[in-house]
Structure 1
Amino acid sequence: MELLIDGLKKAIEMIFSGDPEVFAITWLTLRVCLISILISTLIGLPLGLFLGLTSFKGRRLLLLFINIGMGLPPVVAGLWITMFLWRSGPLGDFSLLFTPTAIIMAQILVSLPIVTSLTCSAFQQIDDKLLLQIKALGATRVQSLIILLKQSKIAIMAAIMAGFGRVIAEVGAAMMVGGNIQGDTRILTTSIVMEVSKGNFDIALALSFILLTAALLITAALTFLQQRKRFS
């Protein structure tokens, strides 16, 4: 208990002392996580909608791979991204390994299946009668899409929150593709692992409180958007 209190005190001290390294690490963490979940949403939302509302040959197989991807171990994702970005890999000429971009790519790989699969499930649960009613009213494709998005808003936001929860807690892939380089690719999760390995449990706990606070604030904002009209 004393260790937890010391960690909380250390976190408060780090924040109010204006420690530039802590702010840089926190900002990089938020930046890579928000960018990765934004890209995963921009890709996963239309893909999930398409898979949830259409039927074609190979759809079940595609859904199977997407669902398998939901449980993809982060170290495996990190290994694949590393292989692609290594000097001899397909994207080696871009020199992206050990950069924030590589961390974003790894986080997209672990969060995209979550957003896609949960979005697909949300649209699959839409009542067929609603779809027939929309067609009967002569709604355009854009109007139909807006109606369906409104109907599935709560489930879609839940998918985004699940994806965000995955990326902000990710450490294995970030460590592998980012290298935990000070001032460049060091984020909160990799910093916590490093401090624990050095025996600095008070600093590790302090960083964990900062990470939890950031995750709480962003998740609270997403929850507000999700539930805004339900209780208004």
Structure 2
Amino acid sequence: MEAIWQGLVQAFLLIIKLNPGVMEVVTLTLKVCGLATAISILIGVPLGIFLALKAFPGRQVVVSLVNTGMGMPPVVVGLVVSFLLWRSGPLGYFGLIYTPAAMVIAQALIAAPLITGLTMAAIQQLPRGLKIQVLALGATPGQLYWTLLKEARLGILAAVIAGFGGVISEVGAATMVGGNIMHQTRVLTTATVMEVSRGHFDVAMALSFILLGLSFAVTFALTVLQQRERTGKANKRRFLRFFRS
């Protein structure tokens, strides 16, 4: 209990004093996780909608790969990305290994299957007749996708929350492709592991609390947006039932 209290006090002091080292790590964490989440959204949401609506040969294989990716150990992703980006690897020419860009790539690959799978499930849970009704009204394919996206936005927001949670808590792949280099690729998770290995448990506890606070703040903002949408839909239904009665 004393270690937890010391960690809380240390975290408070580091934040209040705007410790340059901690602020640098927090800033890089936000940049890497934010960009990785954004890329995974751009990949996962359209792919999830496509898999939910389209039937094509090999679809079950693709869906199985997505579902497998949802539970893929991050260290496996880190190993694959490291192999590709090593100087002797297929993409070694670009010199991305041990850079924030490599961390973004690895974390996007971790989050993309989560967002794809959960988006696909959200679209599939919509009423079956909705697609037919929208097309019967003369909607184009783009209008159809946009309508389904709006109707499934609560589930898709849940997918985004899961994707962000997957990248901000990741440590194995970030260490493998980033190297935990000071002033370059050190983020909150890798810094915490490093401080534990050094025996600096108070600093590690402080970094953990900062990481938890950061994760909670972003997740809370997304949750508020999600629940506001849910409340708005519920109020709309009650409003329509009132006037119909």
Q: Secondary structure at the match of 1:181?
A: coil
Q: Secondary structure at the match of 1:231?
A: helix
Residue of structure 2 in register with 1:39 after alignment: 39
2:218 matches 1:207: no
What is the TM-score when the length of structure 2 is the normalising length? 0.92
Residue of structure 2 in register with 1:159 after alignment: 159
Residue of structure 2 in register with 1:2 after alignment: 2
Residue of structure 1 in register with 2:197 after alignment: 197
CA–CA distance in 2 between the matches of 1:148 and 1:58? 24
The Cα shift of 1:139 comes to 2.2
Residues 154 and 230 of structure 2 are in contact (CA less than 8 Å); yes or no, is this contact kept in structure 1? Answer: no
CA–CA distance in 2 between the matches of 1:82 and 1:142? 37
* AA at the equivalent of 1:99: T
- CA deviations over 1:26-77 (Å, ceiling 9, x no partner): 0000110010010000011101100001100000001111111111111111
2:81 matches 1:84: no
Residues 70 and 113 of structure 2 are in contact (CA less than 8 Å); yes or no, is this contact kept in structure 1? Answer: yes
The Cα shift of 1:25 comes to 0.1
Report the aligned-residue RMSD. Answer: 1.0
Once the two structures are superposed, the pairs formed by residues 66-215 of structure 1 within 5 Å of their partners are 66-215=66-215
Residues matched between the structures, number: 232
Distance 1:56-1:153 versus aligned 2 partners, 3 A rule: same
- CA deviations over 1:103-160 (Å, ceiling 9, x no partner): 1111011111111111111111221111121122222333322221111001001011
Once the two structures are superposed, the pairs formed by residues 50-69 of structure 1 within 5 Å of their partners are 50-69=50-69
Q: Secondary structure at the match of 1:229?
A: helix
Q: Secondary structure at the match of 1:230?
A: helix
Residues 154 and 229 of structure 2 are in contact (CA less than 8 Å); yes or no, is this contact kept in structure 1? Answer: no
CA–CA distance in 2 between the matches of 1:68 and 1:146? 27
Residues 49 and 145 of structure 2 are in contact (CA less than 8 Å); yes or no, is this contact kept in structure 1? Answer: no
CA–CA distance in 2 between the matches of 1:55 and 1:146? 19
* AA at the equivalent of 1:167: V
Q: Which runs of 5+ in 1 are unaligned?
A: none
CA–CA distance in 2 between the matches of 1:196 and 1:70? 29
CA–CA distance in 2 between the matches of 1:220 and 1:131? 32
| Larger Rg, first or second structure (1 or 2) | 2
* AA at the equivalent of 1:212: L
Moved more, 95-104 or 140-149: 140-149
CA–CA distance in 2 between the matches of 1:143 and 1:113? 25
The alignment-based identity, stated in percent, is 52
CA–CA distance in 2 between the matches of 1:219 and 1:117? 19
CA–CA distance in 1 between the matches of 2:65 and 2:123? 18
What is the TM-score when the length of structure 1 is the normalising length? 0.97
CA–CA distance in 1 between the matches of 2:228 and 2:143? 22
